[in-house]
Structures are given as structure tokens and as C-alpha cells.
Amino acid sequence: MTVWRERQSLILASQSAVRKSLLANAGIAVETIPADIDERAIQQSSGLKDPGEIAALLACEKATFISAKFPDRYVVGADQTLALGDQLFSKPANRAAAEAQITTLSGQTHALHSAVSVVKGRVTLFSHVSVARMTMRALTGSEIAAYVDEAGDAVTASVGAYQLERTGVHLFDRIEGDHFTILGLPLLPVLAFLRSRNLLAV
């Protein structure tokens, strides 16, 4: 069943299976077309330091990039940044980098900034940033190694080296924030916007 009223499906400018499933489970016809942009180069040239502003910029850039190819379609772009104080994190490149990230985050509270943009015809129609605060348990070296062994290659797929919807949940003591924000797509604000455009049947 779909509640999406447009003849053509919504485009998600991301290869994230989790983001796609969130939209699809909400009854939206969606297809993924990842945006081939250099995120780090865009971030560096922007001069932005605020993690929320960086996430918002990258979400908009992804959606705009795909919108240029499909100007008559609604395109959703999303991005997430992880900040521990003034320190920003990117996806770990390998197991050693994953262990190093978890070691740094262990016993600390970090912030996930999840941004989303909706673009059509290269015009940004909607932009939103949500924040979740994540408190990681104080972990021993052996506990971190055991987690990385269990998670396998997935540790390099997400910033912070964890997926909360999987074994990454074991790393945490406390979570403050919207579940969808943590998964990388502030879904409720997106649905509210789509309804405001009469794009949803509910």
C-alpha cells in the first residue's frame, strides 16, 4: 500500500538502506539514487564549523545534485554529523579507526545532527535539522574489541562505528532524542512537509 499521491516516486539521494526503509515503511513510493558529490570538499570549502549547519548543507547539496537530473521529481537529501564537543567525526576507514572512535566516545555524551532537505527543480522547498544526544557506556578495550568483532564490516558504514538498530545499541547507557533522528532521517518533519504539499493520502 502506498500513500504517495505523485505518479512518479520520491527520490532519496542516498544509498542508505535504513533511510529508504523508513520512507517505504511509511507507505511512500521511493527509489534511491545516490548523489555522487565530494562531501568533505564541500564541507571544507564552506568554512562551516557548526555540525548542524554542515549536515544541512550536505543534505541540500545531495538533493540538489540529483534534482538537476530529475527536475520534475521530489528529491530528499539527508546527512548526519557526529560531534563530541568541537570534534567532528567521519565514517571510520577501517577496524582500527572504528576502535579509536569508540574509545574516544566511550563514557561520553555526543550529539548526532540529522538534516533533511526536500528539493524540486533545484529549489529547496524544505530543510530541517534534529539533534539526538547519545551517552556511551564506559567501555574497556576488550569490550570494544568484542563489539567490533561482532559488528564486522558494519563498523565502517556509519560515523561513530555503530548502528543503533543493530548490535550498536549495546554500547549505550542513555539516549535522548527522536529514534528517526538517530537512524539518520527526521521522518516526522518530512511527513508533515509532504502533507502540507498534499503529497500524501493520510
Beta bridge partners of 82: 89, 112
- Looking at 36, 79, 86, 178, which residue is catalytic? 79
Q: Which residue, among 16, 86, 11, has the nearest Cα to 54 in the 3D structure?
A: 86
CA-to-CA distance for 157 and 26, rounded, in angstroms?
Answer: 24
3-state secondary structure labels for all residues of the chain = CCCECCCCCEEECCCCHHHHHHHHHCCCCEEECCCCCCHHHHHHHHCCCCHHHHHHHHHHHHHHHHHCCCCCCCEEEEEEEEEECCEEECCCCCHHHHHHHHHHHCCCEEEEEEEEEEEECCEEEEEEEEEEEEEECCCCHHHHHHHHHHHHHHHHCCHHHCCCCCHHHHHEEEEECCHHHHHCCCHHHHHHHHHHCCCECC
> Would residue 79 show up in a list of annotated catalytic residues for this protein?
yes
Looking at the annotation, which residues are catalytic? Answer: 79
